A and B are shown apart, each in its own frame.
Chain A
Amino acid sequence: MQDRGNDALLLETRGLTKVFGELKACNEVDLKIAPGEIHALLGENGAGKSTLVKMLFGVLDPTEGGIYWKGEPVRIGSPGEARRHGIGMVFQHFSLFEALTASENIALVFDEKTPISQIAERARAVSVEYGLPLDPHAMVGDLSVGERQRIEIIRCLLQKPDLIILDEPTSVLTPQEANRMFDTLERLKAEGTSILYISHRLDEVKRLCDTATVLRHGKVVAHCDPRQETATTLANLMVGSDVEAVKRQASAATPGPPLIEISNLERPPATPFSIPLRGIDLTVRGGELLGIAGVAGNGQGEFFEAVSGEWRQERADTIRLNGRNCGHKNISDRRMVGAAFVPEERLGHGAAPALPLSDNLLLSRHTTDRRAMVGPLGFVRMGAVKEATQRIIREMDVRKSGEDPEAAALSGGNLQKFLIGRELDREPMVLVVDQPTWGVDAGAAARIRKALIDLARAGSAVLVISQDLDELFEISDAIAVMHDGRLSSPLPIAEASFEKIGLLMGGAEPGHQAHAHAEAHANTEGSHEPGAPI
């Protein structure tokens, strides 16, 4: 098929297919990007978006199908070739080097002839021109995720590409930082650059993009104009069925006793690139669901480790769970007082990938449910464990292949349902969850959120750490914000707005470092209506 593509298009793909083993990650994808447009690529996790753009950027070879660049059929064999054609990419998981400086990171994509000092100069010029502040000599490992993304974008802009591929760029930004990035993108579009914008945040897509291609299970299910669609119609296209919104009932009039009490939690940084915790105070009562918002990498992971007992405190009363001093206790002992924890990383942290679900259940429950699961002489009662496994699978509607599959064989959403179900099955008085629906499809996410709310309404204290603001507004009774290792006081949901939370996420609270908030504030157009579920 060496025919010509459409000359009016910048990039076109015809029947682009990528097969991994049995799985067709991309199935005959047709994509058309015109010069000077912002084109959205929509789809759930696992719909094939990343696979598609990796083929466009030369990281993966297509199994079948053709790519046409400015009407010419091309074979993009490597990212270097993609760059020579004029395609730039900003990765979702950054392709940066922590031990190198910003300008060294940028220099890596240029030829040998340009000296690094000159590249640093040009980077500084571009950063000023597009309003992306950057210190070229800073070590990347010391920078925040937002700053790292700026390096990626500047590296991309310096190559003067005709097409920029952005893979979920706002997932690590505060609303204000995202607004600033949208301004940059609008400006690039005005200069004639095309942008392929990958996101599952529909309000952004509606606001920014001219056209959209929707993928589902590797296939194109629609080409549309996102401005003519509503968030609901777009979501239905992505998911393929109607998505039910979780309804949050009002919390009980009289809150229960305090079940999570944290006072003056301090933690020195564990690695050079991690965040110290600074004087965190927090109380969550029975019947209450408290959300912790924050841009990734502001200490949420460190905080979770401290609460779960992966990192123990010096003073026993720093953390009290279910009325008991727990600061000195390890994870199992904290579980014994009625607490349960679900970490962010499902495979390797929440579950052992190569073990079947029943073994994963036993691993986390053999101390708390010793009587039920372990018999005389320490032999495991496999019958009881298997029965509990099946109960959780039924209860949480975990879809799987086989009776008792390995954890790694489940999709992200189904494994997450199982891991949450594993803790809920114990009817814990305290539940702490980090990123409960990260990378989980909409159906499973709705099921998980409902389960969390139900647990809180039953009288337990639930603490949810999430970067998904929509989610927090949907399920929380109050939201606190983590920034630079500090935790703001919780805002009751009635008083919270996207704008207020966004400012807190950027660090705007007395005692927090301020970074040009006035400007960010001015850029925020009105306050978003919270809680619009997708």
Chain B
Amino acid sequence: MDVNMLQNILLTIATASTPLLLAAIGELVVERSGVLNLGVEGMMVIGAVCGFAGAFITGSPWIGALAGILAGVLLSLLFGFLALSLATNQVATGLSLTLLGIGLSGMIGEDFVGRAGIRLPRLDLPVLSDLPLVGKLLFGQDPLFYVSIALTAAVMWFLFKTRTGLTLRSIGDNHKSAHALGINVLLYRYLAVMFGGACAGLAGAHLSLVYTPQWVENMTAGRGWIALALVVFASWRPWRVIGGAYLFGAVTIGQIHAQALGIPIPSQLMSALPYLATIVVLVLISRDRRLTVINTPASLAQPFVPDR
């Protein structure tokens, strides 16, 4: 295997991992605030179709990315209205959001099936991008790759170094106490849910603007669920989400290469690996219960109704 081939494999892994990382880091913030939004898949697929449509109509992939973000935020606001303002069951609401997103995206995307898409340009710096081995990896990727890494670092800093992040974590730990301290629980949760929606929408747009620049119905193919599993896999720690996203991305790419090389591993087994890995990790981290309890947002998925 020569250097270029290795670099290409690593590049495809990064491209496959970026949407997982984007969606998971958004959901991590949502869950840290004590809200479980199972609608990630739905927000992603809406982001994918709107991202494609935005780019197709305006001719600018950047406007496409913005359209994906906007679509994710709008859908997350619907979730927020139901699950936060009306205090509906978060699990049921999130599941219906996914179903709604898949249906809606099919409708919006009807006219775009089979049309050629526009790809977000890769970064191309003189000299740097042409360095051997690392050039393309560090300086020649799609812009959303850099966004995903920067976003993860920003979320880490926000959650653990700022007072607002501390407040968000406190709400996830005990929303009643937070309310008694005078913290506006619903406002924080709305903002967190919208951030999660934006991230999922952008992750979806990555699929239709970078990964495979076209619109295919249901093109997220379960990546939203992988992102949800990743948050648990990472035990709600941002830096572990990077590790998890790249591990799962590598598995996806490894599966394609294994098939090309004729290695007789059933592709279904490979597709199931991320979920198996999540179960294994859950078992492993559950062995240290103190750590699990400290990391798990204790008020996760509990509706909050302030009494006044």
Q: How far is the CB of A111 from chain B (nearest CB, A)?
A: 8
CA distance A212 to B113 in the complex (A): 77
A271 lies within 8 A of B182 (CB)? no
B180 lies within 8 A of A91 (CB)? yes
A104 at the interface (CB under 8 A from B): yes
1/0 per residue B145-164: CB within 8 Å of A?
A: 00000000000000000111
CB-based nearest B residue for A269: B289
On chain A, the residues within 8 Å of B170 by CB distance are 97, 100, 104-105, 108
Q: How far is the CB of B100 from chain A (nearest CB, A)?
A: 32
B166 at the interface (CB under 8 A from A): yes
Q: How far is the CB of A123 from chain B (nearest CB, A)?
A: 15
User: A residues 337-351 with Cβ under 8 Å of B?
Assistant: none
CB-based nearest B residue for A78: B182
Knowing A61-B308, A95-B180, A96-B177, say if A272 contacts B166 (CB, 8 Å): no
Knowing A97-B170, A97-B174, A98-B174, say if A59 contacts B180 (CB, 8 Å): yes
On chain B, the residues within 8 Å of A59 by CB distance are 179-180, 308
On chain B, the residues within 8 Å of A91 by CB distance are 180
On chain B, the residues within 8 Å of A141 by CB distance are 293-294
B169 at the interface (CB under 8 A from A): yes
CB-based nearest B residue for A114: B163
On chain A, the residues within 8 Å of B111 by CB distance are none
A100 lies within 8 A of B180 (CB)? no
Interface residue from B163, B164, B174, B289 paired with A272 (Cβ < 8 Å): B289
Q: Main SS of chain A's interface residues?
A: loop
On chain A, the residues within 8 Å of B173 by CB distance are 97-100
A58 at the interface (CB under 8 A from B): yes
CA distance A94 to B176 in the complex (A): 10
B308 lies within 8 A of A83 (CB)? no
CA distance A132 to B174 in the complex (A): 25
Knowing A60-B307, A112-B163, say if A99 contacts B182 (CB, 8 Å): no
User: A residues 243-278 with Cβ under 8 Å of B?
Assistant: 271-273
Knowing A96-B177, A97-B173, A99-B169, say if A108 contacts B293 (CB, 8 Å): no
For the side of the interface on A, what is the size category? 20 to 34
User: A residues 480-521 with Cβ under 8 Å of B?
Assistant: none
User: A residues 425-444 with Cβ under 8 Å of B?
Assistant: none
B167 at the interface (CB under 8 A from A): yes
A79 lies within 8 A of B166 (CB)? no
CB-based nearest A residue for B180: A95
Give the interface centre of B164, B167, B308 by most chain A CB atoms within 10 Å: B308
1/0 per residue A67-86: CB within 8 Å of B?
A: 00000000000111111000
A97 lies within 8 A of B294 (CB)? no
B182 lies within 8 A of A80 (CB)? yes
Q: How far is the CB of A72 from chain B (nearest CB, A)?
A: 20
CA distance A94 to B308 in the complex (A): 19
User: B residues 217-231 with Cβ under 8 Å of A?
Assistant: none
We find that the number of chain B residues with CB closer than 8 angstroms to chain A is: 25
Knowing A79-B181, A83-B182, say if A272 contacts B308 (CB, 8 Å): no
User: B residues 291-308 with Cβ under 8 Å of A?
Assistant: 293-295, 298, 307-308
Q: How far is the CB of B306 from chain A (nearest CB, A)?
A: 9
On chain A, the residues within 8 Å of B177 by CB distance are 94-97
A173 at the interface (CB under 8 A from B): no
CB-based nearest B residue for A110: B163
B287 at the interface (CB under 8 A from A): no
Q: How far is the CB of A143 from chain B (nearest CB, A)?
A: 13
Knowing A60-B307, A104-B166, say if A99 contacts B180 (CB, 8 Å): no
B293 lies within 8 A of A271 (CB)? yes
Knowing A97-B170, A100-B173, A112-B163, say if A271 contacts B294 (CB, 8 Å): no
A451 at the interface (CB under 8 A from B): no
B181 lies within 8 A of A271 (CB)? no
On chain B, the residues within 8 Å of A58 by CB distance are 182
Q: How far is the CB of B174 from chain A (nearest CB, A)?
A: 5
A354 at the interface (CB under 8 A from B): no
B183 at the interface (CB under 8 A from A): yes
On chain B, the residues within 8 Å of A104 by CB distance are 166, 170
Q: How far is the CB of A17 from chain B (nearest CB, A)?
A: 15
Q: How far is the CB of A247 from chain B (nearest CB, A)?
A: 42
Knowing A79-B181, A95-B181, A108-B181, say if A100 contacts B166 (CB, 8 Å): yes
B163 lies within 8 A of A99 (CB)? no
B181 lies within 8 A of A272 (CB)? no
CA distance A78 to B183 in the complex (A): 9
A128 at the interface (CB under 8 A from B): no
A107 at the interface (CB under 8 A from B): yes
On chain B, the residues within 8 Å of A112 by CB distance are 162-164
B293 lies within 8 A of A79 (CB)? no
CA distance A96 to B178 in the complex (A): 8
CB-based nearest A residue for B162: A112
User: B residues 195-220 with Cβ under 8 Å of A?
Assistant: none
Interface residue from B179, B182, B294, B298 paired with A139 (Cβ < 8 Å): B294
CA distance A97 to B168 in the complex (A): 12
A109 at the interface (CB under 8 A from B): yes
Knowing A60-B308, A98-B298, say if A107 contacts B182 (CB, 8 Å): no
CA distance A58 to B289 in the complex (A): 37
B180 lies within 8 A of A79 (CB)? yes
Interface residue from A60, A100, A116, A139 paired with B169 (Cβ < 8 Å): A100
On chain B, the residues within 8 Å of A81 by CB distance are 182
B307 lies within 8 A of A109 (CB)? no
CB-based nearest B residue for A79: B182
On chain B, the residues within 8 Å of A78 by CB distance are 182
CB-based nearest A residue for B308: A61
Knowing A60-B307, A60-B308, say if A99 contacts B183 (CB, 8 Å): no
Q: Pull 8 A–B residue pairs with CB atoms less than 8 Å apart, ordered by A.
A: A83-B182, A95-B178, A97-B177, A99-B295, A99-B298, A109-B182, A139-B294, A271-B293
A: residues with CB less than 8 A from B are 58-61, 78-83, 91, 94-100, 104-105, 107-109, 111-112, 116, 139, 141, 271-273
A100-B166, A108-B167 known, 16 other contacts, Cβ within 8 Å: A59-B180, A60-B307, A61-B308, A79-B182, A95-B176, A97-B173, A97-B177, A100-B169, A100-B173, A108-B166, A108-B178, A108-B181, A108-B183, A112-B162, A141-B294, A271-B293
* Top 3 A-B pairs, shortest CB-CB distance: A79-B182, A272-B290, A80-B182
